[in-house]
């Protein structure tokens, strides 16, 4: 669905801009500049404000990124459970650094804070689906699900 149609669905909802951003990201994996300008128009706020909302929240990206967003929790419980090893394994496996996307546009690699699945640390999420007790050895198999 085009971003204009997506935003139009939320037009009448008070405070609906954030909801529309979620819906755009579901489709595009990020918030294209034109979509933010359109949201500003529809929700009658200055473009700067719409952009300010988009950049405030860490789950929104104003830059194009890979389709499958991999997030690695680096909060204290995951930190001591060995999140750093998982980070190295993911970077090695995908051939990219944290904060970037693969050249084929398939994966984006991001840090996140606690995702609330602390019964099985370290935790990563791919498109918000959590993977538990992740080790460096498990990384290749997990990624294979998305290749």
Partner 1 sequence: MAEEMRIVLRNYGKIDPLKIEDYIALGGYGALKKALSTEKTALINEIKKSNLRGRGGAGFNCGQKWSFAYAAQADQKYVVCNADEGEPGTYKDRLIMENDPQTLIEGMAICAYAIGATKGYIYCRGEYPQVVKILRAAIAQAKEKGLLEDFDLEVRMGAGAYVCGEETALIESIEGNRGEPRFKPPYPPVEGLWQKPTIVNNVETFAAIPLIVEKGAEWFASIGAPSYPGTKVVTLTGDINNRTFFEVPTTTTIREVIYELGGGIPADKKFKAVQIGGTSGAFIPESQLDTPIAFDAMAAIDATLGSGAVFVLDESRDLVDVTTRIAKFFEHESCGKCAPCREGTMRMFDLMEKIKHGEGSSADVALLNKLGRVMSYSCLCGLGQAAPSPVLSTIKHFSADYNAKFV
The residues of the shown chain that bind partner 1, judged by CB under 8 A, are 14-19, 21-22, 43, 49, 52-53, 56-60, 74-77, 79-80, 112-121, 125, 128
Backbone angles phi, psi at 126, to 5 degrees: -120, 120
For the CB of residue 5, give the shortest distance to partner 1 in the complex, in Å: 19
Closer CB to partner 1, residue 57 or residue 140?
57
Cα atoms in the Cβ-side hemisphere of radius 13 Å centred on 89: 19
For the CB of residue 93, give the shortest distance to partner 1 in the complex, in Å: 23
Closer CB to partner 1, residue 16 or residue 32?
16
Closer CB to partner 1, residue 62 or residue 93?
62
For the CB of residue 90, give the shortest distance to partner 1 in the complex, in Å: 18
Task: Give the long-range contacts of residues 91-100, CB within 8 A, separation 24 or more.
Answer: 93/139, 93/140, 93/143, 94/143, 98/72
Pair 105, 68: CB distance under 8 Å: no
Closer CB to partner 1, residue 93 or residue 142?
142
- Whole-angstrom distance, CA of residue 147 vs CA of residue 68: 10
């Amino acid at each position: 669905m085009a971003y204009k149609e997506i935003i139009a669905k939320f037009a009448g909802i008070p405070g609906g801009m954030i909801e529309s951003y979620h819906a755009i990201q579901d489709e595009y994996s990020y918030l294209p500049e034109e979509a933010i300008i359109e949201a500003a128009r529809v929700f009658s706020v200055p473009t700067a404000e719409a952009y300010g909302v988009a950049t405030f929240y860490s789950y929104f990206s104003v830059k194009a990124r890979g389709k499958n967003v991999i997030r690695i929790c680096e909060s204290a419980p995951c930190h001591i459970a060995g999140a750093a090893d998982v980070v190295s394994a993911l970077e090695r496996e995908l051939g990219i650094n944290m904060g970037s996307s693969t050249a084929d546009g398939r994966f984006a690699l991001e840090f996140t804070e606690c995702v609330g699945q602390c019964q099985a640390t370290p935790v990563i999420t791919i498109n918000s689906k959590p993977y538990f007790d992740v080790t460096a050895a498990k990384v290749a198999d997990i990624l294979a699900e998305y290749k």
